[in-house]
Amino acid sequence: MSMMYFDINKDKDIDLSSKMEIDKRLKELLQLEDAGTYSVILHNDPINNMEFVIRIIKNVFDYSISKSIWLMLKAHFMGKSILWTGSLREANDKRSKMLSHGPDPTMRHKGAEPLTVTVEKNS
């Protein structure tokens, strides 16, 4: 069993399920279970326009146009591209921001879907 921040016997004013929920949230905040670095990875997308992908990378990561183009082209030609590396929470936030843009509105008629973006733990 994992470490708890509360002593079950001493902290009697708080019920066990509340203690476990608080512990879960503290662990997420402190990232005790997921220490290390994570990468946000863009996978090649054959349908969404390149300009759309570049704009999302630039907006989410605050990169220059040239860096955004380079990262998009790397995913296009190599199959995937590491966009950013850092904490798990920030990586998931950045992934969510990318997905929130949805598919390229000009390509929906061709079946465009939101970009394929994953978060992977670095070894």
Average pLDDT of span 5-33: 63
Judge whether 83 lies within some domain: yes
Q: What is the pLDDT of residues 36-73, one digit of tens each?
A: 799 999 999 999 999 999 999 999 999 999 999 999 99
Judge whether 48 lies within some domain: yes
Question: What is the maximum alpha-carbon separation in the chain?
Answer: 61
**The predicted structure's pLDDT at residue 1:** 46
How far apart CA 66 and CA 4 sit, in angstroms, is 47
Evaluate if residue 35 carries a pLDDT over 90.
no
pLDDT band at 2 (very low <50, low <70, confident <90, very high): low
Indicate the residue type of 39.
S
Query: Which CATH number does the domain housing residue 44 bear?
Result: 3.30.1390.10
Judge whether 27 lies within some domain: no
**The predicted structure's pLDDT at residue 66:** 96
Tally the domains of the chain. 1
Range of the domain at 91: 38-121
Judge whether 64 lies within some domain: yes
Judge whether 85 lies within some domain: yes
Judge whether 111 lies within some domain: yes
Q: What is the pLDDT of residues 78-110, one digit of tens each?
A: 999 999 999 999 999 999 999 999 999 999 999
**The predicted structure's pLDDT at residue 40:** 97
**The predicted structure's pLDDT at residue 17:** 72
Distances in Å between the Cα of 62 and the Cα atoms of 21, 39, 70, 76, 100 are: 35, 16, 14, 20, 16
Instruction: Using alpha carbons, select from 39, 37, 41, 121 the residue that is nearest to residue 80.
Output: 41
Judge whether 31 lies within some domain: no
How far apart CA 17 and CA 23 sit, in angstroms, is 10
